[in-house]
Structure 1
C-alpha cells in the first residue's frame, strides 16, 4: 500500500524511546524525511542511525525540551531551514513524574505532568500550523492515552492532561480542517518496549535502572496492581510498533477523510 509518505517531512517528538522511537522508524520505512526530537543525545544518535538503515529519505536529529517555547522555536527554525516545510507532526512526548495518590502529590508534580503532556503538544502544534495552512495541507497526530477515557488511579493529573490532549485534538480539527489539515489522536494502553535496554532513553519511564515505572514497581507494588487493567485479548500490553502503525495510517493519504478522531489501540481494555 502506498501511503504517500515518501519524501514527506515528519517531525516526531520523544523519538528516542518506546512509542516515539518505533514511530520514527515506521516513518523511515515509508521513505519519509524524519526529524527526531528528544533530550538524550546518545539515544537520539542511535535512532537516527537506525532510521537511515530503515530507508528514511533524510534524517535530522535535534536535542530539545519541547516543554520550552524557546527551544521549540529554535527547533522548528532548524527544521524549516533544512527542509522548508513540515508535512506531519507527531506529538508523542508524554509521561508522568510519579505514581502517587493525588492527595499526596504537590503543585510541582502537577505542573510537570501538564507541561510534558499538554504544553509540549500546544508548543509544537502552534509552530507548525502557519506553515501547514500556507501549504494547504498537513497531518497532526497526537499521542493521548486510554487513561484519558477511563482514568488510572495514582495518575490523576496525567489522566487529566491526556484528556485535554483528546479535547484539543477534536477542537483543532474543527478549526483547521478548512485548510486541508487533519488532526487526530491515538489512545494507547499499556505500551511497553520489547527490549528495555535497547528501546529506552535516559529519561524514559521504562528505563531498567532509573525509570519511574521501574522504581514504582519496587516501592508501590500494591498501588501498581490497582491500575493494571485486563484487556479482551490474551496479551495485556501493546507493542510500540502497533502504536506506530496507527500513526502512519493517520498521516497517510488513506486517512485523508479522518479527522478529530481518537483511535484506541488498547486491546479492548475499555470493554472489560
Structure 2
C-alpha cells in the first residue's frame, strides 16, 4: 500500500514505550520525521536512536509531561521550529494509576487518570490543530480503549476517560472535517510489550516498578478478573498491530475515514 507519508512529520506522545514506541517505529518505516515525547529522557533517546535504522528521515526527542499545557506548547513549538509543522498527531499517552472498585477508590487517583487520559489528549490536540487548520490538512489519531466502550470493573474512571476520548474523537471530526483534517481513534484490548526491558519507560504500567507488576505480586486474582476472553488463541495484542492501524489512519488510503473508533480486540466484544 502506498501510504503517502514519506516526508511528513508525526508527533507520537508517550512514544518511548510499548504501544507508543511501536507506533514511532512504524511511522519511521514510512520515512517520516518522527517526534517522540515522554517523561523518561533516557528511554526516549534510546528510541530516537533506533528510529533512523527503521527508516525515519529525521527525529526529535522532547522531554515533556503532556498533562501540562505549557510543556505541550513548548513541545509543539520545538517540533514546528525543526520541521515546519505537524502533519500527524498521535495522542498515545494514557493509563491507569489504580485498580479499585469505585466506591473504594482514592479521589487523587481519579485526578491522575483524568489528566493522563483526557487532559493530555485535549492539551496536545489544542496545540497542534491551529497549524493543521492553517495548512488545510492533517490527521489526529487518539488511542482509546475497549474499556471505553464496554467498561472494565475496577477501572471506572479509566474506562470513563477512554469513553471521553472516543466522544471527543467524534465531535472533533465534525468540527474540523471542512479543513481536510481527519480524526479517528484506535481502541485496543490488552497489549503487552514485545520486549519487557527495551520497550518500557520508567513511567510505564509494565515497568518492573509499575502498577501491573505491583498488582501481579499482591492482587493477582483481582488483576486477572479484569481480563476478557478473545475469540482467538492469543489473548493479547502486539503493539505493532496497534501501530499498523495508526499508519493506515494517517495514510492517504484513509483520507475518507473520520470520526471512527477502530477496535483491535481479538473479538472480545462479541466473545
What's the counterpart of residue 238 of structure 1? 237
Q: 1:225 and 1:25 mapped to 2: Cα distance?
A: 30
1:163-182 mapped onto 2 (5 Å cutoff) = 163-182=163-182
TM-score (norm 1): 0.99
What's the counterpart of residue 24 of structure 1? 24
What's the counterpart of residue 118 of structure 2? 118
Task: Output one character per residue of 1:43-68: Cα deviation in whole Å (capped at 9) or x when no partner.
Answer: 00110011011110110000000000
Determine helix, strand or coil for the equivalent of 1:228. Answer: coil
Displacement of 1:223 after TM fit?
1.1
1:1-272 mapped onto 2 (5 Å cutoff) = 1-207=1-207, 209-272=208-271
Determine helix, strand or coil for the equivalent of 1:82. Answer: helix
Determine helix, strand or coil for the equivalent of 2:253. Answer: helix
Displacement of 1:222 after TM fit?
2.0
Displacement of 1:200 after TM fit?
0.5
Gaps of 5+ in 1: none
Displacement of 1:226 after TM fit?
1.4
Displacement of 1:225 after TM fit?
2.0
TM-score (norm 2): 0.99
Q: Runs of 4+ in structure 1 displaced over 2 angstroms?
A: none
Q: 1:85 and 1:195 mapped to 2: Cα distance?
A: 32
- Of 76-85 and 180-189, the range deviating more from structure 2: 76-85
State the number of aligned residues: 271
Task: Output one character per residue of 1:165-202: Cα deviation in whole Å (capped at 9) or x when no partner.
Answer: 00000000000000000000000000001211111011
Q: 1:163 and 1:5 mapped to 2: Cα distance?
A: 29
Displacement of 1:99 after TM fit?
1.2
